[in-house]
Structure 1
Amino acid sequence: MPTREQALIQAIFAPLTAGFEGAVHLRDDAASFTPAPGMDLVVTTDSLVADVHFLRNDDPALIAKKALRVNLSDLAAKGSVARAYLLAIALSPSEDEAWLKRFARGLEEDQERFGCALIGGDTVAKPGPLSLTITAFGEVPAGRIVRRGGGRAGDMLFVSGTIGDGALGLRAAQGKFQGQAADDLKQRYWLPQPRVELAPVLLAHAHAAMDISDGLIGDLGMLCEASGLSAEIVAEKVPLSAGARSLVAGDPSLLETCLTGGDDYEILCAIPPERAPAFAQEAAAACIPVTAIGQMVEGSNPPLCRDAAGRPMTFARSSYSHIP
């Protein structure tokens, strides 16, 4: 006779494996699948913890979607297309069956939108806050994954979308901002938009790419380090949403939050100058806005960000860090 845990898995999570034969309806110890001919497997994983990456009272469907989407963002930055994912969820005493059903509904909606399936994982309970880990699998043409370390001096640096909405959205969700701008930013914090449509454009044009999760300045530093280069960007060129611009206009110190706060899940990429027009054109055709913010340069110094007057900017920290 199945335990309550097994019954919940079959009732709530097993339907999410529909159509993926190798998941065997979550009735085995492991799943299996084979990449399509001529494709490499790409694997990424991210963990989210209540009151760190989301607020414990957030809508369970939005928590589920954010957990999946932050992984899809990583896959997209590598030029890959998502196929499947594993979910490990450590439940606190606060999550009941109704919560789990709402959570699973969020996953189901995003699976349909992004074309991937649950194929396994683990479910446990613990006394501490809710935490969950998703490991996502994607496919990319063999030998063509877009790494962080392929940047070259002279490459133009582009970002997708707008920067800073996630960090400001967290503050809005915590009640620190009010009004229409705050409401718009909260949606960006709750529901990041993985730029999956940009994956083939990156494959065609990018020397290097990564998703922006911990803050533009810090993540740019990681791309530079991997590429053995430095970079110069202009803060004024970094695209901000209307909501972010209105808050920064009222409190210029919030620009640092935008540049270093993280939770953007946009894509940072290095594009050779001769390919920049085609890259921008193809991104626009995919309905993904991209903006040039600077370039990669020779050297090993940390990347330099200049203000509107051309002066180097300094920051209290370059990005969010999970380990103080």
Structure 2
Amino acid sequence: MSGPKNTALQAALTKIDQTVRDEADWGAPAQYIPQLAAIDPAQFAISVCLENGAEYSAGQSDTRFSIQSISKVFALIAALGRVGDALWNRVGREPSGTSFDSVILLESEKGRPRNPFVNAGAIVTTDALLSGREPRLALAEIIGIVRAMASDDDIHIDASVARSEKATGARNKALAHYLDSHGNLDSEPELTLGTYFHQCAIEMTTLQLARAGRGLAGFANAPSVLPLRRAKRINALMMTCGHYDGSGEFAFRVGLPGKSGVGGGLLVIAPGRASIGIWSPGLDHYGNSKAGTRAAALLSNAMRWSVF
């Protein structure tokens, strides 16, 4: 049951929505995925869940969007649940300082990705989850975790986005084959990539996304999918690595753990306080939502939620 409403929070969200629309500094949608490139960038939504069950939204919070790399958080939760800390033998936990699809560090560090949130690291994470199984079973596990964490079965994969990514994913294919050349894939690259492309094509609303983050926020009443100790570790990775080479900038401006996706989504966690879902499809030069990052900073400042 929802707790008492926080009128200051709702007022803050309404003001942020208006500020973002007045500024109209949207950025441009991801151009290398045709299904995303065609989306109108002038859209915005924000949702917040609190531990008492209260939920708040402003903007187009009932619009579904492709969560893209935010799915890496849920795939990581699934992989750690399946293989545990053995995953860290195959992927690191350090910031990359490079773009999400860079091959530079992967080459210099002999096929061991810096962290599970750059594309190469996410491909390894998905491969660890896929190992010895059919792709549909691994995908069912990922989307099952998303649905469980969001307490909502109406969350699905957009097959047209997955096809669009597969058709234009030459860079990810190169990363997968390079990983394979170093013995860091258990499955055939095409199988791992197919699973990865479909995982990135999960669609959600900002409210569904905020609900899915409740366990990461450490809420006592969150669905019992994610142990608190593991949630803390994933938050640490989100703070240091969740926005690729823009992670330091996001930490500086927002002061909260978060994970971005090139669909324009942001999952932001105020530990012990709130889980936040944001969407605006226009991106900055890092590949993170431009208006969404601005909104996250405004909200963190308004509610004094920065961890610093």
TM-score, normalised via structure 2 length: 0.23
Normalized per residue, which structure has more strand?
A: 1
> Which is greater in Rg?
1
